[in-house]
A and B are shown apart, each in its own frame.
Chain A
Amino acid sequence: MGSWLAHSAAVAGVLVLLPFGLGDFAAYELALYFLYAIAALGVGLCWGSAGFLPLGQAMFVGIGGYLSGLALIQFKGSALLIVLLPLAALLPGLLAFGLGLILFRGRRETGPYFALITLALSLLAFQIANGWNSVTGGFNGLKSIPGLPGLGDFSDAYWISAAALAAVIAGTSWLLRAPLGVLWRAIAQNERRAAFLGFDVTRAKAVVFGLSGVLGGLAGVLYAPQQNLVTPQLVGFTLSAELVIWAAVGGRGSLYGPILGTVLIGVVTAELRNRLPYWEVLLAVIFIVVVRWAPQGLVGLLQPIARRLRRPERGARLNAPPRQLAARTAAIAFQEVAAHAGPVQILDGLTLAAGTAGITCMIGPNGAGKTSCFNLLTGELPASHGSVRFDGQPITGFAPTAVTRLGIARKFQIPNVFPDLTVAENLHLSLWGGRARPRDLLKLSLHRWTSPLLDELARRYPFLAEGASRAGDLGHGERQILELAMALAMEPRLLLLDEPCAGLSPEETRQVIDVIRWAKARLDLAVIIIEHDMSLVKELADHVLVLHQGRLLAAGSIATVQADPAVRAVYAGGTK
């Protein structure tokens, strides 16, 4: 909080001093690039923080610009403008948010699809702006737009732009420091894990896109009175492309990258465009070089210094509120469940009951449908027939986020964490997932959350307490433990573990078994473990399920199952 205030004040100071060093005309020119910088920051948020690339950012600038221009012409000098202009900036944001909800829904890999749809939308917006003569003024645009009431000359333009930029920097820097910013980076790295921590990934991404729409809209709203002109070029493809280049060259992953990129390249371009005919070719080459060799742009080169300057949130640790779960039991019931992958039948009328307190081990030969069973339960594999119930409630077809929120946590076979976040951030996300309300994610104090369970885990595994190391730098065994700790920190009713000891040394295996036993007793947890190692099964299992060819072959205690002739036939290599 304190460092945020100091930081915002420093930015404001620089912006106040700048015109005295530059003179009025240069300041007036800067005013325009500050507006573009605000729009480019939107691109940077989407692309650098949340991991999806918008190629049509100019659309939101243009919509803001046209709305603002129309309002200023229609209601010249009226007090209504105090309401209308903010609305004009907000509307593109709402549009972006809605589009985001539609486009992000139910798909994890949005990369090229999302980017090209935004590009197409921007081209469509150009067509409309160009063709809708009666409203937009067609090709020539809206002319003679009056300035903001009470303001006029060159220097006022600078102050308006600079104030907007300072406010945007302050707001964005808060968001990036807040838990929400951590969540955005988490989603960019591993959407699947984020969903399995109970975050609504679709909405979180739509929020980022909506914010970038507001930033674009704000730039447009201020552009109209400053330039007194809005033409279809403002919605079009060229500006969209330039905003992406500016954000990339400056550095998409940071707050200042897009801003510096825009101002620097903007000013240089204005200088060189007429003198150096190949300047824009050169700029395209620079862009390619940045993409290929320096993905974090100019600011990325300074990143090591910036990281050293960032201090962790100080203050006493806070205990996270206990998790509230509606489910009273962890009972799982599969009823005649079938599922396919292409022509292959993976689950074939699977009926089973599991999830009573204690440890259930699920065994079966490769291809028996064990992991598919988990996938179906957690909403990653659609059922073509049958139903699944959790605590008596039907959950067939629920998405991973919804299943997780009911109190099911899952650890994957291959360690699945957020590699570029710190260990502390990984653990925090698992605390926030089930406990923080969406608006809580704006509070910096959430960075100080911990839970008694996490403290106990950190005593067992000291590396969990050294929060500052990158999760991706941990060894395989430590990543397995980290993911297990994240799943436990969620304090679920039911824990699904897919070969939790795969790739671990005997010593580490022993530790993991101890933790699972301890957590089971500590949280009164039901655990289902997929396991191949029969010695582990004998040691852990209160109950065993044997799967074969997508069906339940046998169930019961380890002794019952071992005595079952059908199980013996399968494991001895016999055929069914």
Chain B
Amino acid sequence: MDPLVTTQLLNIVFGIATLAVLALGLAIVFGLLGVLNIAHGELVMVGAYAAWIVQTAGAPYVAAVPVAMIVCGLLGWVIEAGLIRPLYARPFDTLLATWGLSLLLRKTAEAIWGLGYKSLALPMPGTVDVFGAAYPRYRLMLIVACLAGMTALAVWFTKSGAGTRIKAMVANPELAQAVGIRTGRLARNAFIAGCALAGLGGVMVAPLTPVHPFMGIDYILDSFFVLVVGGLGSIAGLLAGAGIIGGLGSLVSAITDRTAGYTTVLVIAILFLWLRPRGLLARA
């Protein structure tokens, strides 16, 4: 195969894999708690700044993973207790509250670090030969890590007791509570996990994209569109959504320009909302 085509294909796979991880945290929170966390993109931004701080401090890049996940997890804990739990039964208000939160995080980042772009050094420089194409080592590592992580998660969700409890909570929260599942704690943990995953996503993408206060908006929209297209409730749906949104978006962007890629994604999302509002692989 032409090395150029191979590179482009790998880029598309890379786009899908990272998008799937970025959307995963949003899907967990939206699917399990019915809360659309608009500040999800800003948590990705916080994770990216955490990575930048770790790298600027001279620590190894891997250290950014726990740092970002802990920072975002802690933020998630505070957000859940302060904003989400009091508004559980009011989905519209959680939307607004998290929208306000996204403003707060963005403006805080702007006040601390300014509007300028921060760029990070690539933690794993160099390339690997894939079918004749020289592909960046870091990107390849991310693709493998994302796929491995998603598989592990899918296995855990179907096999473990915690997975079953979560499914019980989603299907019928009151009954789940009645059989002794602590739904409040489960919901809090799910929210914290979603936020920590956003932080992880931030660490992943930070070396590949300019880090700035407004970077979260693109991620929340793309992740949301993944959920719109793929539907809630299954990892297969998530991957299908990421495949369509990430794949088509990067394909059209590669052929023409970013605006066209953007438009394509938006039109697809509107078409899905219009014609297939439950997504491709929604659970009934």
Which of A55, A103, A295 contacts B274, CB < 8 Å? A103
| CB pair A117 B270 closer than 8 Å | yes
A sample of 22 inter-chain contacts (CB < 8 A) reads A53-B92, A53-B96, A55-B99, A117-B266, A117-B269, A119-B217, A123-B217, A123-B218, A123-B262, A124-B259, A124-B266, A127-B262, A127-B263, A131-B259, A277-B111, A278-B111, A281-B104, A283-B107, A284-B103, A288-B100, A291-B97, A292-B87
Interface size class of B (residues with CB under 8 A): 35 or more
Give the residues in chain A near B87, CB-CB below 8 Å.
292
| CB pair B96 A248 closer than 8 Å | yes
Q: Is A568 an interface residue (CB 8 A)?
A: no
| In the complex, per-residue mask of A287-322: 1 if CB is within 8 Å of any chain B CB, else 0 | 110011001000000000000000000000000000
Complex Cα distance, B96 from A102, in Å, reads 23
Complex Cα distance, B214 from A120, in Å, reads 14
Least CB distance, B253 to chain A, in whole angstroms: 12
Least CB distance, A458 to chain B, in whole angstroms: 35
Chain A contacts with B in 271-291, Cβ cutoff 8 A: 277-278, 280-281, 283-285, 287-288, 291
Complex Cα distance, B105 from A285, in Å, reads 10
| CB pair B266 A288 closer than 8 Å | no
Q: Is A365 an interface residue (CB 8 A)?
A: no
Complex Cα distance, B96 from A450, in Å, reads 40
Which of A119, A284, A291, A342 contacts B96, CB < 8 Å? A291
Interface size class of A (residues with CB under 8 A): 35 or more
| CB pair A291 B100 closer than 8 Å | yes
Q: Which of A5-13, A108-116, A345-353, A539-547 is found at the contact surface with chain B?
A: A108-116
| CB pair B107 A281 closer than 8 Å | yes
Give the residues in chain B near A342, CB-CB below 8 Å.
284
Give the residues in chain A near B38, CB-CB below 8 Å.
116
Which of B36, B99, B269, B274 contacts A102, CB < 8 Å? B274
Chain B residues within 8 Å of A, Cβ to Cβ: 36, 38, 83, 86-87, 91-93, 95-97, 99-101, 103-104, 106-108, 110-111, 214, 217-218, 220-221, 224-225, 228, 257-259, 262-263, 266, 269-270, 273-274, 277, 284
Complex Cα distance, B95 from A115, in Å, reads 9
- Max chain A C-beta neighbours (<10 A), residue from B217, B269, B273: B273
Q: Is A576 an interface residue (CB 8 A)?
A: no
| CB pair A116 B97 closer than 8 Å | no
| CB pair A128 B93 closer than 8 Å | no
Complex Cα distance, B111 from A287, in Å, reads 17
Residue of A nearest to B34 (CB): A112
Given contacts A120-B266, A124-B266, A292-B86, contact A287 B100 (CB under 8 A): yes
Residue of B nearest to A131 (CB): B259
Give the residues in chain B near A241, CB-CB below 8 Å.
103
Complex Cα distance, B107 from A241, in Å, reads 12
Which of A51, A111, A121, A244 contacts B266, CB < 8 Å? A121
Given contacts A102-B274, A281-B107, A342-B284, contact A111 B95 (CB under 8 A): yes
| CB pair B104 A288 closer than 8 Å | yes
Residue of A nearest to B273 (CB): A113
| CB pair A291 B259 closer than 8 Å | no
Least CB distance, B73 to chain A, in whole angstroms: 20
| CB pair A113 B228 closer than 8 Å | yes
Complex Cα distance, B38 from A112, in Å, reads 9
Q: A124-B266, A288-B100 are in contact. List 18 more A-B contacts (CB 8 A).
A: A53-B92, A102-B274, A103-B274, A112-B36, A123-B218, A123-B262, A127-B258, A127-B259, A127-B263, A237-B214, A241-B103, A280-B107, A283-B107, A288-B104, A292-B83, A292-B86, A295-B93, A343-B284
